[in-house]
Each structure stands twice: as structure tokens, then as C-alpha cells.
Amino acid sequence: MTDYLDGAQAVEQAFRDNAIARQLRREVEQPDEDDQGNRYCLSCGNEVPKARLIAWPTAVRCVFCQSLKDGK
């Protein structure tokens, strides 16, 4: 029983290590903002709606462009 649990723990740890490594390699995109705090989409250049920024404060793209980037 212990060998089975040790194996499961090793798989779980490898999964976690892989997830952490992917996050560390991920490129962080900086928002395009003007002096008034308006944020502009990095893809199309249109202003990102305030409602989107309330829902997703770190958004750097409008919903349409983000969905294209995500392949949805």
C-alpha cells in the first residue's frame, strides 16, 4: 500500500513542478495605458471597456481579441 501511495505522491509532485515551471516561463504582457488610466487593447488598439477591467483587472486585451488569442 505504501508503494502505491508513494507513487501517487511522486506523480502529484511532478505535476505541480511542471505547472510551476510553465507559470515561470509565461511571458507577462504589460498593459498599454494613457495618463488618465485608460487601457488599450494590445491587439486592436481600442479602449478596453471599464466593465471588463472591473471583471478582470489584469486584462490587456478586449474580450474579442482575447478570445481570438485563446482560440475560442
Would you state the pLDDT for residue 1?
65
Condensed to tens digits (0 to 9), the pLDDT of residues 26-69 reads 777 888 999 998 999 999 999 999 999 999 999 999 999 999 99
Is the Cβ–Cβ distance between 39 and 48 less than 8 Å? yes
Question: What residues make up the domain containing 54?
Answer: 2-70
Model confidence, pTM: 0.61
Look at the chain and count its residues: 72
* pLDDT category of residue 12 using cuts at 50, 70 and 90: very high
CA–CA distance, 68 with 61 (Å, rounded to integer): 10
Q: Looking at the predicted structure, is the pLDDT value of residue 2 above 70?
A: yes
Burial class, 41, CB count within 10 angstroms (exposed 0-12 / middle 13-18 / buried 19+): buried
Report the chain's C-alpha Rg in angstroms.
19
- How many CA atoms lie less than 13 Å away from 1 in the CB half-sphere? 0
The total domain count for the chain is 1
Would you state the pLDDT for residue 64?
96
